[in-house]
Structures are given as structure tokens and as C-alpha cells.
């Protein structure tokens, strides 16, 4: 599945939306959690930029920058107001400037599936945006969520007006705002929130117009479960994510929710799950690794929301897997900064090994063992790793232990 379009091979570094995907050497930090708005966040992150850079992260995903009805940022109202619960516009811009100095790209969380209105319109709903910088009326809101627009091109996000992306005036305004974030405010990467809510064709149009250096979409729906737990075969789940990536014109990556769902069961003594019927990794990573952003938890699945948390006693096994494997690994703020220096330092060590052994999103992988209490694989030609309690080490004299921890070990040549 790792094909991509040669239209990428044409432009310069700052507007070349394919270069980062082609290079495949990203490591992302999700630089917040669900409670961050309570903690003077832009100022807090400002002090951590040197460590984020030194640790080897290429991009830091920040919470939604715009004014929002809910402090976490996911009920946006005035898109052009950058004074939010995370801090002032001034503090945000100063943070972005510092990140640029340290060569860490800033990823904006783009929440454009829905928008909270200011005044009542059609049907007595808050579906007008009078008095804001983008003063849309009810035609900007889908008919399924109380507006006068067309039907949604995706799933509904309930309880708030959903934006009708079929309207040309809406798309023109969104593109103007995205270009402003990219070219004036100083964000370089985009993360598309609730990407199931509108057609991926629009994501393709928005990326093409605003030219972020890297984009990733959140296509989160449920894995396949049976009476006894998680199904071994999650091909239909990963295929839905692959279809979304394809519909963006292959220019966006997507979070690998399939790998997360499988990995958090595998670490409980079911490592056989980490090898599919074809002998490949069982998530999006196994089919289209250059577009798969792997992760253990985020502000929804973990943090204080804990909708679908990774088992906390197995966090380092999880990172030993995603940081040594193909795909584009992402580390969660809590694990890196809130769980103590041991976790921080083990993760930094794994990122360092990844870089030194030149593991990238398209690295080859040979799975050697996938049993209940043991998983082992060779990635690239110069890195080997194992997970679980089963005793195992690579054959041959030229392997040296690079690092090890609770239920994981990594060797290099």
C-alpha cells in the first residue's frame, strides 16, 4: 500500500507538502492533555521547548488555538480569536517563535467539523454567527444539525451545529483561516479533529490550499469485538482508515487506532495478536506505514477522560513497540512529562536508538516470534527487539544490547 503520487516531487521545502511524508523520519509529541487549559499552558510549554527539541521530536501537536465555548478548545466559536483558556495570543505566538528557533514544528489542532453559534436563527437554534469574524448564517450549518445547509457528508457530532463543507463560502472562509494559521500565525502542521464528520475530499482541498508540511487525521471508530473480547482480525477497521487516507489524495496521514486497539490487548499476554495472517503488523502500520501515526494514548483515550486507556503497567512495552517499528510514532505528554523521569528517559533512549539506526516510517520488518508471552522482530537490518516475559535473544554475534526495561529489550548492530 505504500504508493504515493509523484505530484509531490515538485516544490520547495517550505511549501512541499510531500517532503515530510517522503522522508518518514518524524517523531511527534502530543504536547497537552485534557486538563492543560487549567495550567497556563502556552507558558508551561515555552519552558519545555529545549527539552522537546533535544529529545528528538520533530513536531509538537498543540491544543486547538481558537476561542472556544469549552475551555479544552473543541467547541470553537470565534476562529480568528487566539485568546483561549491555554493563554493569550501573545504567549502563543511567542511559543511558536521559540519552537521555530529550536526546529520543532508546531501542529495546530484543526476543529472544523462543528462550530458553536452566537445567536438563535432557524428553528430557534444557535446556528448563526453574528458578531464574529466569520459571520456565517444558518446556511453554513448542516440540515441534520438544525441548519439550512445540505446534509452532512460524514457522521454527526451531536449537540452542536455541524459545519456544511459543501457550501463554497464556507470552504473559502476555512481556507482563508487555515492559510492565516499557516503563514501568519506560524503553525506548520495540521491535525484534523473528528475527521469522520466530513468528506476527506475537503481535507484534500484544505491541505492543498494551505500547504501544511505534515497533516494527520483523526478517524476514530470502534474496533471489532466479539463475545470474548477483541477480534484477532481487524482488517475492516484498518481498511476504513486506509480509505480515508486515500480520499485525501494520499496527502494526509491518519492516527493508527487499529494498532492502538490491538497493542493494548497484546501486552496483556496475547502477543500473537501482533502478527496478522500475512505475517505483517496487524494495524494500518502493516499496510501503509508511511501514513500511519502510531500512538498509545491521547487526550480522549487517556488523560482524565480515559475513554479507552492503554494499560498503565505496560506503557514502556507499548513505546518499545511503536518507537522501534515502521510508521510515524507519537508520544503522549502525560507519559513523557507527568509519569516521572524514568519514563521520560526510557522514551528518549528509544527515540535516540530509532534515529541512530535510521528506522523510518517505511523500514522493513520481519516478525520472528508472536506468541502469548513473547514478540520479537527485526526492523531495518540493524535493529532487533523483543517484548514480553518469554526468554529470547537474537542469534549471531554482531547484535549488542542497546537498551532494556520492564518486559522489553532492543539490540542493534
Our count of domains for the chain comes to 1
User: DSSP 3-state assignment of 383?
Assistant: strand
Model pTM score: 0.96
171 lies in some domain: yes
The pLDDT of residue 1 is 44
Q: Is 35 a catalytic residue?
A: no
Confidence of residue 318 (pLDDT cuts 50, 70, 90): very high
CATH assignment at residue 270: 3.20.20.80
Angle between helix 315-322 and helix 257-266 axes, rounded to 10 deg: 130
* Nearest-10 Cα torsion for 263, 267, 269, 273: 20
The model's pLDDT over 232-277, given as tens digits with 9 standing for 90+, comes to 999 999 999 999 999 999 999 999 999 999 999 999 999 999 999 9
53 lies in some domain: yes
Most distant CA atoms of the chain, gap in Å: 74
Residue ranges making up the domain that contains 98: 18-359
13 lies in some domain: no
Neighbours of 221 (CB within 10 A): 10
Q: Is 218 a catalytic residue?
A: yes
Region 121-134: mean pLDDT is 96
Catalytic member of 193, 256, 297, 334: 193
395 lies in some domain: no
The pLDDT of residue 296 is 98
Q: What percent of the chain is predicted at pLDDT more than 90?
A: 94
Q: Is the pLDDT of residue 231 over 90?
A: yes
111 lies in some domain: yes
Catalytic member of 26, 164, 173, 218: 218
Locate the DSSP E strands across 278-371: 292-294, 328-332, 365-370
Q: Is the pLDDT of residue 7 over 80?
A: no
The pLDDT of residue 127 is 96
Residue 148: all three cell numbers together: 439550512
309 lies in some domain: yes
134 lies in some domain: yes
The pLDDT of residue 13 is 60
24 lies in some domain: yes
The pLDDT of residue 12 is 53
The model's pLDDT over 199-224, given as tens digits with 9 standing for 90+, comes to 999 999 999 999 999 999 999 999 99
The pLDDT of residue 17 is 79
Region 178-192: mean pLDDT is 98
Q: Is the pLDDT of residue 9 over 90?
A: no
The pLDDT of residue 14 is 64
Owner of C-alpha cell 466559536? 77
Amino acid at each position: 500500500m505504500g504508493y504515493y503520487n509523484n505530484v509531490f516531487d515538485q516544490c520547495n521545502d517550505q511549501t512541499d507538502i510531500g517532503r515530510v511524508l517522503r522522508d518518514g523520519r518524524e517523531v511527534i509529541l502530543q504536547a497537552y492533555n485534557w486538563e492543560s487549559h487549567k495550567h497556563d499552558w502556552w507558558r508551561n510549554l515555552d519552558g519545555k521547548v529545549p527539552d522537546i527539541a533535544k529529545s528528538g521530536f520533530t513536531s509538537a501537536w498543540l491544543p486547538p488555538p481558537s476561542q472556544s465555548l469549552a475551555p479544552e478548545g473543541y467547541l470553537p466559536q470565534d476562529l480568528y480569536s487566539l485568546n483561549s483558556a491555554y493563554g493569550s495570543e501573545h504567549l502563543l505566538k511567542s511559543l511558536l517563535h521559540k519552537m521555530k528557533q529550536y526546529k520543532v514544528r508546531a501542529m495546530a489542532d484543526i476543529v472544523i467539523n462543528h462550530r458553536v453559534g452566537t445567536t438563535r436563527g432557524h428553528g430557534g437554534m444557535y446556528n448563526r454567527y453574528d458578531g464574529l469574524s466569520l459571520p456565517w448564517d444558518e446556511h453554513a450549518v448542516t440540515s441534520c444539525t438544525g441548519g439550512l445547509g445540505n446534509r452532512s457528508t460524514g457522521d454527526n457530532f451531536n449537540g452542536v451545529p455541524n459545519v456544511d463543507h459543501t457550501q463554497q463560502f464556507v470552504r473559502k472562509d476555512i481556507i482563508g483561516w487555515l492559510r492565516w494559521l499557516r503563514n501568519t500565525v506560524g503553525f506548520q502542521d495540521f491535525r484534523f479533529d473528528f475527521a469522520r464528520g466530513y468528506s476527506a475530499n475537503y481535507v484534500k482541498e484544505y491541505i492543498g490550499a494551505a500547504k501544511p508540511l505534515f497533516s494527520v487525521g483523526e478517524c476514530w471508530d470502534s474496533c471489532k469485538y466479539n463475545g470474548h473480547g477483541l477480534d484477532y482480525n481487524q482488517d475492516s477497521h484498518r481498511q476504513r482508515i486506509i480509505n480515508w487516507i486515500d480520499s485525501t489524495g494520499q496527502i494526509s496521514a491518519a492516527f493508527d487506532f487499529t494498532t492502538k486497539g490491538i497493542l493494548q490487548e497484546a501486552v496483556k499476554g496475547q502477543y500473537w495478536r501482533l502478527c496478522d495472517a500475512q505475517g505483517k503488523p496487524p494495524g494500518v502500520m502493516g499496510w501503509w506505514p508511511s501514513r500511519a501515526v502510531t500512538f498509545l494514548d491521547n487526550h480522549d483515550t487517556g488523560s482524565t477522560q480515559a475513554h479507552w486507556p492503554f494499560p498503565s503497567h505496560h506503557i514502556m512495552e507499548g513505546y518499545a513497540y511503536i518507537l522501534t517499528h515502521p510508521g510515524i510514532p507519537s508520544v503522549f505528554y502525560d507519559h513523557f512529562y507527568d509519569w516521572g523521569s524514568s519514563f521520560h528517559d526510557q522514551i528518549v533512549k528509544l527515540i535516540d536508538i530509532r534515529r541512530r539506526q535510521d528506522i523510518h516510517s517505511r523500514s522493513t520488518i520481519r516478525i520472528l516470534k508472536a506468541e502469548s508471552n513473547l514478540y520479537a522482530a527485526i526492523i531495518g537490518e540493524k535493529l532487533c527487539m523483543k517484548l514480553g516475559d518469554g526468554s529470547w535473544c537474537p542469534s549471531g554475534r554482531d547484535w549488542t544490547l542497546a537498551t532494556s526495561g520492564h518486559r522489553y529489550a532492543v539490540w542493534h548492530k
